[in-house]
Amino acid sequence: MAAKRVLLAKPRGYCAGVDRAVETVEKALELYGAPVYVRKEIVHNRHVVDTLRDKGAIFVEENEEVPPGSIVVFSAHGVAPEVHDQAEERNLKAIDATCPLVTKVHQEARRFARDDFDILLIGHEGHEEVIGTTGEAPENIQLVDGPDDVENVTVRDPSKVVWLSQTTLSVDETMETVDRLQKKLPLLQSPPSDDICYATQNRQQVVKEIAPECDLVLVVGSKNSSNSVRLVEVAVQAGAKDGHLIDFAHEIEEGWLDGVETVGLSSGASVPDNLVDDVLAFLSERGFGDVKEYEPVTEKLTFALPRELVKDMKAAASAQ
């Protein structure tokens, strides 16, 4: 039997948008003191949410749960314009941690709606990002939830239709949806630039490359994290014999490792690397001490903190 080994995918874990969102809550807690309210999970990861809660963040579902005059941070997934309006009505100080790459999709939606296009938004029903983007132009946007949903699409004018997408989808499945849409609507326009973000694309590409060599691919991530769920799907479709999504190392079932020689390991865009280290330690204790990191792409992107927060941080620094 060949030696047991781990192929560790890189890039994995935190993307620039998640890094910014988590830092936004941390800095807000430092600057204004606890509690800081956060509307929805700041990013879709149990560990991150629990850690911020321990530091004084209070997670709520809607603005109406936030006492008037308080600080509220909007999550990386973005919000509909009405959420900003509600915050203003309640006299909340809102800090918007929406990922700039989600904001880009919002801007596209507004622009095409202004030109009275029908917008076909490829995404998953009920996902917060989809709800936020749809809120930019509810009259013009209809959701297309995967290739099989294409048959339900109807548009007003087939020469004025564009597709946009959620940022965290499977690249391949989205292209299949677009192919089917184009067959139905030959004049369908494409977004000016990719909506599926660089982090989603990179993590999928790396997993796709290592998957054929893997008996098992483990992805660290939460079940409500779209990009993490997609990574497991991509791994299995690309040839991994088995694949599982886990929040924590202790969720790995011993039986998954039976007869396994090569384990592929990656993590979703909202996962801190200490959780991956825990999985490596778990695997090492079971003979998988040979770890090879595979990094065909490097990521350097970072985003500045939200403007409203930076302004207050500067004011606080100059008052000292």
Binding site for ligand SF4 (CB under 6 A): 15-18, 76, 99, 101-102, 167-168, 197, 199-200, 227, 269
3-state helix, strand, coil in the chain (%, to 5): 45, 20, 40
3-state secondary structure of 4: coil
Whose CB is nearest to ligand SF4?
Answer: 17
Q: Is 284 annotated as a binding residue?
A: no
> What's the CA gap between 259 and 72, in Å, rounded?
50
The Cα-based distances of 273 to 13, 87, 265, 280 in angstroms read 6, 34, 12, 11
Q: Is 106 annotated as a binding residue?
A: no
41, 128, 129, 136: the active-site residue: 129
Could you tell me the smallest distance in angstroms from the CB atom of residue 183 to ligand SF4?
28
Decide whether 102 or 231 has the Cβ nearer to ligand SF4: 102
Q: Is 77 annotated as a binding residue?
A: yes
Q: Is 266 annotated as a binding residue?
A: no
129 part of the active site:
yes
Q: What angle do CA 43, 48, 52 make, to 5 degrees?
A: 105
Decide whether 256 or 303 has the Cβ nearer to ligand SF4: 303
Could you tell me the smallest distance in angstroms from the CB atom of residue 95 to ligand SF4?
16
Q: How far apart are the first and last CA of the chain?
A: 65
Decide whether 177 or 228 has the Cβ nearer to ligand SF4: 228
Q: Is 197 annotated as a binding residue?
A: yes
Could you tell me the smallest distance in angstroms from the CB atom of residue 45 to ligand SF4?
11
> What's the CA gap between 41 and 95, in Å, rounded?
14
Decide whether 93 or 106 has the Cβ nearer to ligand SF4: 106
Q: Is 227 annotated as a binding residue?
A: yes
- Strands laid side by side in the 216-220 sheet: 243-246, 216-220, 262-267, 5-9, 290-294
Neighbouring residues of 13: CB distance < 8 A, sequence distance ≥ 6 = 220, 267, 268, 269, 271, 272, 273, 276
Could you tell me the smallest distance in angstroms from the CB atom of residue 40 to ligand SF4?
13
Could you tell me the smallest distance in angstroms from the CB atom of residue 196 to ligand SF4?
8
Decide whether 70 or 75 has the Cβ nearer to ligand SF4: 75
Q: Where are the alpha helices (DSSP H) in the chain?
A: 16-32, 46-55, 81-89, 100-114, 128-134, 171-184, 198-210, 226-237, 273-285, 307-319
Binding-site residue numbers are 15, 44, 77, 99, 127, 167, 197, 225-227, 270
Annotated binding site for [4Fe-4S] cluster, which residues?
Answer: 15, 99, 197
Enzyme catalytic residues: 129
Binding-site residues for isopentenyl diphosphate, in ranges, read 44, 77, 127, 225-227, 270
